[in-house]
Structure 1
Amino acid sequence: MLGWAIMFFVVAIIAAIFGFGGIAGAAAGIAQVLFFVFLILFAVSVVASVMSGRRPPVP
């Protein structure tokens, strides 16, 4: 998910450089939404991991 957000951010930067304001704004908006979804899912997974009490295996 973070990879998609970074990809849309790069598309927005390139579109802004070439003067495509509408496309740049749309791509930046999509990147922002994907980034916040990533943050929410990451926080949920961290909380679930802490609540389960499992420790990761030590190699």
Structure 2
Amino acid sequence: MEMRALLWVVGVIAGVIILLGLLLEAVRWLVIIGLIALAGVIILAFVKGRRSMQHHPSRR
């Protein structure tokens, strides 16, 4: 009976560790994707800002 309980505990702990590993991996990829998206938004804003700055003097 005790051996069976020990196997259950070990199995549950192993499952939790595997799930945590998968979650951490997913979180890491989400952070990377988020940083790439943020960098893209900043670059687009910078490019649009420079374009509007360049067009401004020609309108006068």
Alignment of 1:26-45 (within 5 A): 26-45=22-41
Q: Which has the larger radius of gyration?
A: 2
TM-score (norm 2): 0.57
Higher relative contact order (CA 8 A, sep 6+): 1
Percent identity at matched positions?
16
Q: TM-score, normalised by structure 1?
A: 0.58
Q: Which consecutive residues of structure 1, in runs of 5 or more, have no partner in the other structure? A: 1-17, 55-59
C-alpha RMSD of matched pairs (Å): 1.7
Aligned-pair distance for 1:29? 0.3
Counting only pairs closer than 5 Å after superposition, residues 1-59 of structure 1 correspond to structure 2 as: 19=13, 20-53=16-49
The runs of 4+ residues in structure 1 deviating greater than 2 Å are none
